[in-house]
């Protein structure tokens, strides 16, 4: 179980926007992307043609074909399913394999996956991603990692192709805690920006001028750069969906409840993203929260 190198066979489970971007990045960098698997059987086909990888029929086939498997799936339930302790699973005959799990999950799920993998003689590492589709494609993800330190050392060369910086934060669950807080704060900032722009429109202010004022004052933020113009133009092409924002905000709220802490801003933001999902807007980018706050749009 030595360090990963380009000749080792890499599998990717979850070939959506992020998983696909990572696959293309690794292929461009000369890594041996061997196999794909996705719950939607049509998803990996085009990607397979671009990379020359096998579309595996089962999860067990991915493990059999590959030395290391990157998982980029949607949520806790999907992750626990691909690491099921019986039936078709990545854990079948997985001794000696390395799993690099990149989804934003409840921290306890990462702890459980590490336990299940270790019981079968494999290693699991959480590598939580900050960044979006362009960063996945260019290898510029911000990676927060946690788990067994030997697994981290083994995966470093692979992780270095996927992103920079690559941080090791300690025992399993710690990276997921940090990622939950990153997304919680990002979502609060996004919701706040949508409210400010919505109020600005209702007051008859020029939103381009208002965004420029924000950018030069204490109101400046990263989401102003990434989402401000999109909110004004109603361009909500999905880079990070409202459904994922709802999920991640609620992960952070659950962590707060565990330590008996009240977070009213996080709670209000989660309620807004939950509302988007309920109203059928969950597939919009998180910038679509502006559809709830502009008086001329959906807000009542």
Domains and CATH numbers, the chain: 9-171 (3.40.50.720), 177-293 (1.10.1040.10)
Residues sharing a CB contact under 8 Å with residue 193, sequence separation 6 or more, in sequence order: 214, 221, 223, 224, 227, 228, 231
Express each pLDDT in 18-50 by its tens digit.
Answer: 999 999 999 999 999 999 999 988 888 888 889
Which residue in the block uniquely carries the two structure tokens 């929260």? Answer: 289
The sign one gets for the Cα dihedral 250, 256, 259, 261 is: negative
CB 104, CB 110: distance < 8 Å: no
Scanning the structure block, which residue is given the tokens 């921290």? 107
- Tokens representing residue 277 in the block: 């999902």
Interval 221-245 mean pLDDT: 97
pLDDT digits (tens, 9 = 90+) for 257-298: 999 999 999 999 999 999 999 999 999 999 999 999 999 997
Two tokens, residue 195: 């409210």
93 Cβ contact partners less than 8 Å away, ≥ 6 residues apart: 60, 63, 64
Residue 300 has pLDDT above 80, yes or no: no
pLDDT bucket at 160, cuts 50 / 70 / 90: very high
List the 32-37 sheet strands across, edge first.
54-55, 32-37, 9-13, 68-71, 98-101, 123-130, 141-147, 163-168
pLDDT reported for residue 46: 81
Reduced to 3 states (helix: H, G, I; strand: E, B; else coil), residue 100 is strand
Task: Give the per-residue pLDDT at 45.
Answer: 84
How much is the pLDDT for 288?
Answer: 98
């Amino acid at each position: 179980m030595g360090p990963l190198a380009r000749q080792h066979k890499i599998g990717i489970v979850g070939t959506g926007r992020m998983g696909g971007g990572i696959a293309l990045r690794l292929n461009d960098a000369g890594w041996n992307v061997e196999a794909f698997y996705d719950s939607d059987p049509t998803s990996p086909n085009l990607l397979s043609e671009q990379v020359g990888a096998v579309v595996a029929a089962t999860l067990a086939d991915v493990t059999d074909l590959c030395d290391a498997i990157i998982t980029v799936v949607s949520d806790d339930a999907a992750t626990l399913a691909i690491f099921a302790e019986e039936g078709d699973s990545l854990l079948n005959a997985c001794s000696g394999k390395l799993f690099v799990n990149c989804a934003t999950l409840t921290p306890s799920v990462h702890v459980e996956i590490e336990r299940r993998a270790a019981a079968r003689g494999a290693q699991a590492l959480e590598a939580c991603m900050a960044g979006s589709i362009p960063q996945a494609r260019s290898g510029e993800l911000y990676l927060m990692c946690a788990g067994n330190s030997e697994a981290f050392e083994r995966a470093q060369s692979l992780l270095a192709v996927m992103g920079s910086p690559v941080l090791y934060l300690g025992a399993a669950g710690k990276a997921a805690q940090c990622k939950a807080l990153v997304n919680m704060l990002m979502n609060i900032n996004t919701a706040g920006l949508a409210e400010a722009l919505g109020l600005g429109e209702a007051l008859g202010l020029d939103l381009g001028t208002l965004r420029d004022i924000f950018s030069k004052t204490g109101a400046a933020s990263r989401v102003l750069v990434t989402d401000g113009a999109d909110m004004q133009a109603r361009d909500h092409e999905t880079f990070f969906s409202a459904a994922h924002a709802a999920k991640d905000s609620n992960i952070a709220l659950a962590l707060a409840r565990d330590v008996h802490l009240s977070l009213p801003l996080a709670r209000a933001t989660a309620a807004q993203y939950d509302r988007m999902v309920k109203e059928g807007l969950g597939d919009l980018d998180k910038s679509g929260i502006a559809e709830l706050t502009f008086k001329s749009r959906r807000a009542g």
